[in-house]
Amino acid sequence: MLPDRSKKSFQKTRMLGQDSNGTGTRIHIGGAPVDSISLSSLLPYLDGLVEDGNPHYVCFCEAHLSVRATFEKEIRYVLEEASLVLPDGVSMTLGARLLGKKFPERLPGPLVMLEYCRHGINKDLKHFFYGGSDGVVEQLATKLRQRVRGIRIVGTFSPPFRSLTQEEERTVKNHIEQSKADVLWVGLGAPKQERWMAEHVGKINVPLMLGVGAAFDFHSGNRRWAPNWIRKAGGEWIYRMFTGGRRVFCRNAKYESLFTLIIFKQALLNLLSRRKR
């Protein structure tokens, strides 16, 4: 069951500062509320979430999650309760344009994770990594220490592929809290990680959780991240489809197709609504 976050202690932070890039605008892409913010504004904004004394979680939305939010009330609720929902996939930027909107830039989880780890060095931020299969999260920590000199990694945990027992939940909670982590990176895959964060925000004493999914695999070297030129061209989703195996290919093909239909329907309804005015 998801928690009731209506109490003041769980009040969401929505007061994004306005800048020339349109920071602070929330755009609904299908069933997903997605925040418009540039990377340069995002990093200090995340600092604010760490420091404001309330628990927060941040989601990264792509076509799959947007479609799930369109048809599943629970997923939509989880995204609405997040302190930030960032446009991960190129589908988000193209969808926004079809709706007459625009994001300053795409903010994929692997990129934000790397940039915020670098940014956090001067802030002396402490990072904990939760997720990944056996060995992946440990390899992730090793690779990040090599790539981001000075990063403070205070713990890792790879959960089993089943629900934790109550005793295991308490052990993990204590492990995270005793580490005094400022940032908890969650890599369980969507929408499992989003549900997990919504269920545990405020229950685990950690200021900020970010669900970054495949970032664990990419930065650990378990899977190859798309080359930079492909990412800049907006072709990362195609690269993932053809390098992630049959399951990833079928899932992406299904949800990208559904997403396209949803956005065209939304754009058509918006057009008809404007004509009636």
User: For 143-170, how does the pLDDT look when each residue is reduced to its tens digit (9 = 90+)?
Assistant: 999 999 999 999 999 999 889 999 999 9
pLDDT at 137 over 80: yes
99: pLDDT strictly greater than 80: yes
* Residue 110 is assigned to a structural domain of this protein: yes
Residue 234 is assigned to a structural domain of this protein: no
Residue 169 covered by a domain: yes
Contacts of 261 (CB under 8 A, 6+ apart): none
Does 101 map to a domain?
A: yes
Query: Positive or negative, the Cα torsion across 126, 131, 45, 200?
Result: negative
Q: Is residue 8 part of a domain?
A: no
Q: Distance of alpha carbon 95 from its chain centroid, rounded? A: 18
Distance CA 54, CA 156 (A): 23
Q: How far apart are CA 142 and CA 217, in angstroms?
A: 13
C-alpha 216/C-alpha 223 separation (Å) is 9
Nearest Cα to 243, choosing from 214, 277, 205? 214
> Out of 117-126, 177-186, 244-253, 266-275, which region has the weakest mean confidence (pLDDT)?
244-253
**How many domains are there within the chain?**
1
What average pLDDT does the segment 242-268 reach?
88
What is the side-by-side strand order in the sheet with 126-131?
84-87, 56-61, 208-211, 183-187, 126-131, 152-157
d(CA 173, CA 169): 6
- Of the listed ranges 4-8, 135-139, 203-207, the least confidently predicted one is 4-8
Phi, psi torsion values for 252, nearest 5 degrees: -65, -40
What pLDDT is stored for residue 247 in this prediction? 79
**Stretch 132-147: mean pLDDT:** 94
Domain region containing 66: 28-227+249-271
**Is residue 20 domain-resident?**
no
Distance CA 11, CA 55 (A): 9
Is pLDDT of 190 > 70? yes
DSSP 88-152: -SHHHHHHHHHTT---SS---HHHHHHHHHHHHHHHT-EEEEEE-STTHHHHHHHHHHHHSTT-E
pLDDT surpasses 50 at 8: no
In this predicted structure, what is the pLDDT of residue 14? 46
pLDDT at 178: 98
Q: Which residues contact 11 (CB under 8 A, 6 or more apart)?
A: 5, 54
Over residues 209-226, the pLDDT tens digits come to 999 989 999 999 987 766
